[in-house]
Structure 1
Amino acid sequence: MPLVTTNYNPPLVFKNGHIATIYAGIFRTISPIGQQRERIDLPDGDFLDLDWSFAPRETDRVVILLHGLEGNAQRPYITGSAKIFNAFGIDACAVNHRSCSGEVNKLFRSYHSGATEDLEATIQYILNTKKYSEIYIKGFSLGANLTLKYLGEGRNVPKQIKAAIAVSVPCSLHSSLVELLKPKNMAYAKRFKNHLLAKLREKQRLFPNLISDMDIKNVKTLKDFDDIYTSRAHGFKNAMDYYKKCSCLQFLPHVKVPSLIINAQNDSFLGPACYPWAYAENNEYLYMEVPKYGGHVGFYDKHNTTYTEKRALKFLEELF
């Protein structure tokens, strides 16, 4: 599809990408939405915690929400999305990636940007045990990459999956990494690294023979973490092999479910390869919207909502 016209125009202060990103990530708060936790068993013996919230009346529609790197189902961008979907008559299933629900997962492996097997397990669980005839997926950052990779990997996507919304997508993981390692993103990269190192130390306590003190000491950058842990734990040769195989960019031509990509021009986490203009133009199922403003998973809007929360609903209304 051609580039989708955008009308997003935030207040002056939120036109700064860093302010938009930081406000959404640290200062925004959402009133409690009454999530109910459900644990599901995974085929490999591990588990996922799903946090559900529901529309006021019974519905046959549900949205699966996927958070970003080191997020969880209680992050404001997840609960804010759940709240607005619920008000619109759509139940919400917010997935906590492995080790992101407050409890470390059982296995040496964890989650990563290409772990679509966990999304597949969630979808199959919903299809097998719930009543929904329409399923939507909305992913943010890492979760957005997962969403588009899942849809384009060549599997038989269940007919119940009707649409997807992908916000702040690092379509090329390496291109995004290059940006994150630049001085402009030093504070973000350090924050991510510290969170990941804390979890790596938890893994070391469970698997002392697989992670050494020297391994932890050698993690100086996010790429080091992916070289030392992510690639080793998930069957990749190294960080670059992981980035190459798990970037959703290569899977976009095969997406056959209507999918909206919303990437801000001033998103400091995204490099040039994260804006898949040509792929969107050549795939009738891809809708690409590139607002001038928004930052990374920011998109401030009035009344404690975000532009992407409202835009997701409008996208569904336009389709159906």
Structure 2
Amino acid sequence: MSTAFELAAASAATHVAPWWLPGGNAQTIWPALRGRGFDGTAPRFERERWATPDGDFIDVDFLATSNARDEANAPLLVLFHGLEGSSRSHYAQAFAHWATQQGWQFALPHFRGCSGELNLAPRAYHSGDFEEVGWILARLRTRVRQPLLAVGVSLGGNALLRWAEETEGSAAAVVRAMAAVSAPIDLAAGGHAIARGFNRQIYNRMFLRSMKPKALAKLAQHPGLFDRERLLAAADLYAFDDVFTAPLHGFKGTDDYWARGSAKPHLARIRIPTLVLNARNDPFVPAASLPQPHEVGRHVSLWQPAQGGHVGFAAGRFPGRRLGLPEAVMGWLQAH
């Protein structure tokens, strides 16, 4: 008889979207706006503010309604959110609910500027921010005696993979296993995809509508940090990254940032059990850019279902619930 994990894993790896939700865009937008990845009361968080080594801060949300038997002895699930995400994101709520049901601890560190308050330093966050990820994980590791498992979603998934690639064998002392969900592991492919056609009109505009005001607030904090007129004229993520993200984080420009920040070229360096889950109809992550089995090491497993969209995976009758994504992903992690 199949275990619950085997059934969940099979459904995630071979996910078929409901007939009423055709195409990658619908499978992305509907779950984000209308999906609910759990039944019952929404998770409640308690926030901690951490001072960073460079004199800035990050905010970390911890699950407040946990049924953890003993917090120091309960496993800890750490979730790294996507571009402009937070603990309010639909996927964050779903994973936090899973942790509540399992009696686990749960932590969601907000990348700088994503917790609702502008950070202090003349920097923000980016897809290859592995040093920040490493600092966060090392600090969280000291809080638990049991295993620490990590999940990164979209941008957070790429950054988490980059951390594991850079640390190689030493990653196992911090994280037992990890997963990247809908991660744009080829940043150039994803960046160009989001700048074309429907994507440009919907997703590109949505991200810039959030990111530009934050960048302008950062300029008010640090006058002369970048060219204001160039930022205002940026019509896509390539142009935004060229004037803001790349130079503020030590890259020569967008091309340098996207090349050095991408996880795909280094997946064979990972030395801890890692799941990389990407739907092949993800509007942000072209199927042609996804890695093949021969491009990853023995520690990396690839799930690439034909359907699911970007952090979508809706299922069931209309209006549909999201697929039990936490159950499938966490089942894989626990088994490894």
Moved more, 51-60 or 192-201: 51-60
1:147 maps to amino acid: L
Q: 2:171 aligns with which of 143, 150, 157?
A: 157
Flag the 1:261–1:19 CA change in 2: closer, same or farther, 3 A.
same
Aligned match of 2:6: none
Instruction: Tell me how far apart the structure 1 counterparts of residues 288 and 186 of structure 2 sit (CA, whole Å).
Output: 6
Moved more, 6-15 or 147-156: 6-15
Pairing 1:105-120 to 2, within 5 Å after superposition: 105-120=119-134
Aligned match of 2:158: 145
Pairing 1:66-215 to 2, within 5 Å after superposition: 66-128=80-142, 130-155=143-168, 156-186=170-200, 187-215=202-230
Using the TM superposition, give the Cα deviation of residue 169 of structure 1 relative to its aligned residue in structure 2, in angstroms.
1.4
1:134 maps to amino acid: P
Contact 2:312 2:322 in 1 (8 A): no
Q: What's the RMSD between the two structures over aligned residues?
A: 1.9
| CA offsets 1:35-87 (integer angstroms, 9 cap, x no match) | 11111111111111111113442243111101111111211111111111221
Instruction: Tell me how far apart the structure 1 counterparts of residues 161 and 173 of structure 2 sit (CA, whole Å).
Output: 16
Q: 1:268 aligns with which of 283, 286, 296?
A: 283
Instruction: State the secondary structure of the residue aligned to 1:243.
Output: helix
Pairing 1:239-318 to 2, within 5 Å after superposition: 239-272=254-287, 274-279=289-294, 282-301=296-315, 304-318=321-335
Instruction: Tell me how far apart the structure 1 counterparts of residues 155 and 83 of structure 2 sit (CA, whole Å).
Output: 6
Q: 2:59 aligns with which of 49, 64, 75?
A: 49
1:229 maps to amino acid: F
Using the TM superposition, give the Cα deviation of residue 27 of structure 1 relative to its aligned residue in structure 2, in angstroms.
2.3
| CA offsets 1:113-141 (integer angstroms, 9 cap, x no match) | 0111221111121123x123211110111
Flag the 1:199–1:119 CA change in 2: closer, same or farther, 3 A.
same
1:18 aligned onto 2:32:
no
TM normalised by structure 2 equals 0.88
Using the TM superposition, give the Cα deviation of residue 273 of structure 1 relative to its aligned residue in structure 2, in angstroms.
5.2
Paired residues, what number? 314
TM normalised by structure 1 equals 0.92
Moved more, 241-250 or 149-158: 149-158
Instruction: Tell me how far apart the structure 1 counterparts of residues 145 and 322 of structure 2 sit (CA, whole Å).
Output: 26
Contact 1:231 1:237 in 2 (8 A): yes
Using the TM superposition, give the Cα deviation of residue 25 of structure 1 relative to its aligned residue in structure 2, in angstroms.
1.9
Instruction: Tell me how far apart the structure 1 counterparts of residues 276 and 159 of structure 2 sit (CA, whole Å).
Output: 13
Using the TM superposition, give the Cα deviation of residue 160 of structure 1 relative to its aligned residue in structure 2, in angstroms.
4.0
Instruction: Tell me how far apart the structure 1 counterparts of residues 274 and 247 of structure 2 sit (CA, whole Å).
Output: 32
Instruction: State the secondary structure of the residue aligned to 1:157.
Output: helix
Instruction: State the secondary structure of the residue aligned to 2:21.
Output: helix
1:61 aligned onto 2:75:
yes
Instruction: Tell me how far apart the structure 2 counterparts of residues 10 and 64 of structure 1 sit (CA, whole Å).
Output: 28
Structure 1 regions of 5+ residues with no counterpart? Answer: none
Q: Percent identity?
A: 27
Using the TM superposition, give the Cα deviation of residue 26 of structure 1 relative to its aligned residue in structure 2, in angstroms.
2.1
Pairing 1:225-240 to 2, within 5 Å after superposition: 225-240=240-255
Instruction: State the secondary structure of the residue aligned to 2:272.
Output: coil
Flag the 1:191–1:111 CA change in 2: closer, same or farther, 3 A.
same
Moved more, 150-159 or 181-190: 150-159
Instruction: Tell me how far apart the structure 1 counterparts of residues 134 and 67 of structure 2 sit (CA, whole Å).
Output: 24
Q: 2:47 aligns with which of 19, 37, 43?
A: 37
| CA offsets 1:191-229 (integer angstroms, 9 cap, x no match) | 111111111111121112223431322312110111001
Instruction: Tell me how far apart the structure 2 counterparts of residues 283 and 243 of structure 1 sit (CA, whole Å).
Output: 22
